[in-house]
């Protein structure tokens, strides 16, 4: 269900999704705001009100990044095979650096993320990642390998990331810019 709220000078649309969760949470997936609610909880206005500043800042950032995405060019030089070789080599390097092991590596088209790490130590990477600059591919691989040390996006995890990438927030924003760019390219193909 899509709802609207006005925060400062911006009208914000957000999707309300009810799931079997304990607590309500806000998510921003690319350029969409989602409010995940427990099955028996319907007071969305209170949650939006309590997080107005965070929502406003994220919406403003996304609008700024959308403008940047219009100026980005995708890299079509890396073949799918070379991309897979590169990712596997980076996994071996980073698992060695962090002293962890992994199970299997999968490559697939993902609709909302660049990669993931399962509790079975499987590493999954979005095939569209190959169109990004090499330093962003490296960052995503390191990010997923770091999940072999710490599964949650908590302070411990971000400290692991910050050790190698002190400016990781810049990388995260750049990934969003490229996500918006790829999303636009895919819409043009449809």
The whole-number average pLDDT for the span 144-169 is 96
Superfamily of domain 80-189: Metalloproteases ("zincins"), catalytic domain (3.30.2010.10)
pLDDT digits 0-9 by tens, 35-53: 888 888 878 888 888 888 9
Given a cut of 90, whether residue 134 has pLDDT beyond it is yes
> How far from each other are the two terminal CA atoms of the chain, in whole angstroms?
25
Please report, for the chain, the start and end positions of each structural domain, with discontinuous segments joined by +.
2-71, 80-189
Given a cut of 70, whether residue 29 has pLDDT beyond it is no
d(CA 15, CA 103): 36
The whole-number average pLDDT for the span 145-164 is 96
pTM metric for this prediction: 0.80
d(CA 85, CA 135): 15
Given a cut of 50, whether residue 66 has pLDDT beyond it is yes
């Amino acid at each position: 269900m899509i709802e609207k709220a006005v925060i400062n000078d911006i009208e914000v649309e957000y999707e309300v999704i009810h799931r079997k969760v304990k607590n309500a949470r806000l998510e921003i997936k690319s350029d969409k705001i989602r409010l995940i609610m427990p099955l028996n909880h319907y007071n969305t206005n209170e949650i939006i009100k309590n997080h107005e500043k965070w929502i406003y800042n994220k919406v403003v950032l996304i609008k700024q990044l959308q403008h940047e995405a219009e100026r980005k060019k995708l890299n079509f030089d890396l073949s799918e095979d070379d991309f897979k070789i590169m990712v596997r080599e980076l996994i071996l390097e980073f698992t060695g650096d962090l002293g962890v092991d992994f199970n299997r590596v999968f490559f697939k088209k993902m609709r909302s993320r660049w990669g993931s790490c399962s509790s079975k130590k499987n590493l999954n990477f979005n095939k569209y990642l190959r169109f990004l600059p090499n330093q962003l591919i490296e960052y995503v691989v390191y990010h997923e390998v770091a999940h072999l040390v710490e599964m949650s996006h908590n302070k411990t995890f971000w400290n692991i990331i910050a050790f190698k990438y002190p400016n990781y927030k810049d990388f995260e924003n750049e990934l969003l810019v490229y996500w918006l760019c790829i999303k636009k390219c895919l819409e043009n193909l449809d």
